[in-house]
Structure 1
Amino acid sequence: MANTYAPSLLDKLLGDAAEGARGVLPRYSLERIKDSVARDAEHVLNSHASFSPEDLAAYPRASRSLLCLGLLDITPLSMSSDRDRQRISHSIRTALMQHDRRLRDVEVGVRNDPRGQGGLSFAIRAKLLLHPDTDTVVFDALLHPGSQRYEVTQADPRAALQGATPLTAA
């Protein structure tokens, strides 16, 4: 029998977990957990932080709170600038590591939009912590240029970060 895992608190609150009999703790397959993580990552990437962690440096707990949930404002950044692409990649990595405790060792690579729509695609690879297991998750995050919105989907782990410029220190 394949391992099953407890749903996240958000899944429980949203009612996604209410499939089992009343009073029975629902269990999710690994694929369903990964879909849940992709959905949560999409929410994080489509949020905009009220403050940067640097703004709240004197308040370490506040710098890890919802006040800093999301990404930096990318409106003034150029999608064709390698430096700006790296800033976005760094922001994605930091946001996911700070706000999803299920993810560790997050790597982000950037590449041109494989659909040819002029956006950017980010390859995200991380360790997913599942008690008592860990597994690798791989996501594609496509930044739509007109709306500045991210679409996050599971990706093939064998193709992870292929053709992507890996994140370097920003």
Structure 2
Amino acid sequence: MNLDHLYPYGFRSTLFDRLILEHSDQHGLSIQALRESVACDLEDLLNSRMAKLDHVMDDFPWAKKSILQFGIIDFVGLSTANPLDRHKICQSIEQSIAAHEPRLRQIKVEMLFEGDNRGALCLSIQAYLNIHPLYEPIVFDALLKPTTQQYVISASA
């Protein structure tokens, strides 16, 4: 089923994208453009670090989902060789995506180990794209480049 046929006027972009869009004559995003928009926003999220304010935020549940907590935890001191640390990293990324990317549901993050990644951290982000009333499965590949310490994210085909 081609979702572009079900939604002939396209999908709505984010408010930020609509504010900076140079060509506002566009009706909406195609399903591919929507996937790329989510990938770009996930890249921004994973390349941001949040402050560790857990003890301060306990009494303020709405603040935990605010811009104060945008980003992911700093993984310094955690080892990808340790299964408990891997679980903590993946769980933290899942929680951050769930809090700050409302277009995705049922998020699952897994760490991938490939022999030729040369020290890079590879993640698979599996979720459902929330296209009311449908949920489209989507998979993103996230690669942390060791030289730049920046994530690069792409939607898998």
Q: Give the TM-score category using the shorter length.
A: 0.7 to 0.9
Letter in 1 for 2:75: I
Aligned residue number for residue 5 of structure 1:
11
Q: Would you say how many aligned residue pairs link Structure 1 and Structure 2? A: 151
Distance 2:82 2:148 in 1: 19
RMSD: 1.9
Distance 2:115 2:31 in 1: 27
Alignment check: 8 A CA contact 2:126 2:139 kept: yes
Secondary structure of the structure 2 residue equivalent to 1:88: helix
Q: Report the TM-score, using the length of structure 2 for normalisation.
A: 0.86
Q: 1:137-169 CA distances to partner (integer Å, 9 max, x unpaired)?
A: 11001122343321111113xxxxxxxxxxxxx
Identity %: 30
Mark the CA change 1:114 to 1:137 in structure 2 (over 3 Å): closer, same or farther: farther
1:14 CA displacement: 2.3
The answer for unaligned runs of 5 or more in structure 1 is: 157-170
Aligned residue number for residue 43 of structure 1:
44
Distance 1:137 1:54 in 2: 34
Distance 2:143 2:55 in 1: 27
The answer for unaligned runs of 5 or more in structure 2 is: none
Q: Report the TM-score, using the length of structure 1 for normalisation.
A: 0.80
Aligned residue number for residue 60 of structure 2:
59
Aligned residue number for residue 128 of structure 1:
129
Aligned residue number for residue 148 of structure 1:
149
Distance 2:147 2:56 in 1: 29
1:115 CA displacement: 4.5
Higher helix share: 2
Aligned residue number for residue 111 of structure 2:
110
Mark the CA change 1:54 to 1:148 in structure 2 (over 3 Å): closer, same or farther: farther
